[in-house]
Structure 1
Amino acid sequence: MAMSVGQNDGDEDIPMSDINTTPLVDVMLVLLIIFLIAIPVVIQTVPIELPKVRNEITETKPENVSLTVRGGAGGNCEVYWGLTPVTSKELLDKGVDALEKQIAKVGGVNNLTEENMPEVHIRGDVNTPYKCIGGAVFTMQRAGFARVGFISQPKPNVAAQ
């Protein structure tokens, strides 16, 4: 094994303390080129444009229906109309009744507009199975509600845009 020594003005030889960085730079450039070629091959996606999400303040109107859905014991679904627990049949009946009352209140189906059409707001527990929330959405759509939305809790320290 050899060691390079540098010339000194004196008679003594001093070991060189410089590191040869050329091989290190060569290896890094080769790795950079490999990653630049490999990354587009690894990341294969279908080009889509995702929707821009913003926090919208919920406007609560008296004609809106508020449902709470959560998973119960044994895989059962618990649905609450306001604070009252309801079965699937009761949910459908109450939904039809609420929609009929709103139609009568505005003077008929022809007088329903986007502004006075009641909405369904569903609050679902984060651990609720999809079948429970999907069943509530389906039942309310079957009752005749065209607008069904979800109430969620925004991330902390995020302002509405």
Structure 2
Amino acid sequence: MAFSTNTSGPMSEINVTPLVDVMLVLLIIFMITAPVLAHKIEVDLPQPNKDITPPENPPSPINLKIDQSGAFYWNGSPVDELGLKAQLAVIGQQTLPNQPEIQIAADDNVAYEYVARVLADAKSYNLVKIGFNEAQ
């Protein structure tokens, strides 16, 4: 270090000791956490069932639109909540390969409550083929 006899001005030297200390601590932290991040996470993915054959003529999907006000449209026709539940009950009585897919297209500004009600109703009627589309 160079010392000057002129003490009237500020020192222009930087003390790097705290910087080196912080860098060493960060290096130790990264060395400890790096092996933890390198471990493999085992995920059980579903395997295709070879015994079940897909239907030859699958039913066409049903488009369920939910607009901003919470109104429901079943394939373009307006339907109230009771009518929607009745339609879902009819579909739920069909066997799994014959169930049509329900494609929900919710408006961007619709309250989540309406979508959650539809999903809860679909689950209560044993519907498993549910998809989401972008609202037009």
| Alignment partner of 1:80 is 2:73 | yes
Mapped contact 2:59–2:99 kept (Cα < 8 A): no
Pair 96,20 (structure 1): closer, same or farther in 2 beyond 3 Å: closer
2:64 pairs with one of 48, 64, 67: 67
In structure 2, C-alpha distance between the alignment counterparts of 1:32 and 1:139, rounded to whole Å: 56
Distance 1:121 1:27, change over 3 A: same
Identical columns (%)? 17
* Structure 1 residues 99 and 113, CA gap change in structure 2 (3 angstroms): closer
Per the alignment, residue 31 of structure 1 pairs with: 22
Could you say if the C-alpha distance between residues 128 and 28 of structure 1 is closer, same or farther in structure 2, counting changes exceeding 3 Å? same
- In the aligned structure 1, how far is the partner of 2:115 from the partner of 2:102? 12
Return the alpha-carbon distance in structure 1 between the equivalents of residues 78 and 84 of structure 2. 9
- TM-score (norm: length of structure 1): 0.48
Question: What is the alpha-carbon distance in structure 2 between the residues aligned to residue 84 and residue 133 of structure 1?
Answer: 18
Q: Runs of at least 4 residues of structure 1 off by over 6 A?
A: 37-40
Q: Radius of gyration: which is bigger?
A: 1
Distance 1:36 1:140 in 2: 52
Say which SS state the counterpart of residue 71 (structure 2) adopts.
Answer: strand
Task: Report the Cα distance in structure 2 between the residues aligned to 1:152 and 1:36, rounded to whole angstroms.
Answer: 46
Contact residue 67 and residue 82 of structure 1 kept, 8 A: yes
Report the equivalent of 1:150.
132
Aligned length, in residue pairs: 103
- Structure 2: which amino acid aligns with 1:125? D
Give the Cα–Cα distance (whole angstroms) in 1 for the partners of residues 90 and 131 of structure 2: 19
Look up the equivalent residue of 2:110 and give its one-letter code. Answer: T
> What 5-or-longer segments of structure 2 have no aligned partner?
7-11, 33-40, 44-57
Do the aligned partners of 1:93 and 1:143 also contact (CA within 8 Å) in 2? no
Pick from 2, 5, 8 the counterpart of residue 5 of structure 2. Answer: 2
Aligned to 2:50: none
Partner-residue secondary structure (3-state), 1:71: coil
Counterpart-to-counterpart distance in 2, 1:152 and 1:35:
45
Q: Given that residues 66 and 81 in structure 1 are in contact (C-alpha distance below 8 angstroms), is that contact kept between their aligned partners in structure 2?
A: yes
What is the DSSP-based 3-state SS (H/G/I as helix, E as strand, rest coil) of the residue aligned with 2:5? coil
RMSD between superposed Cα atoms in Å? 3.5
Q: CA offset at residue 143 of structure 1?
A: 3.8
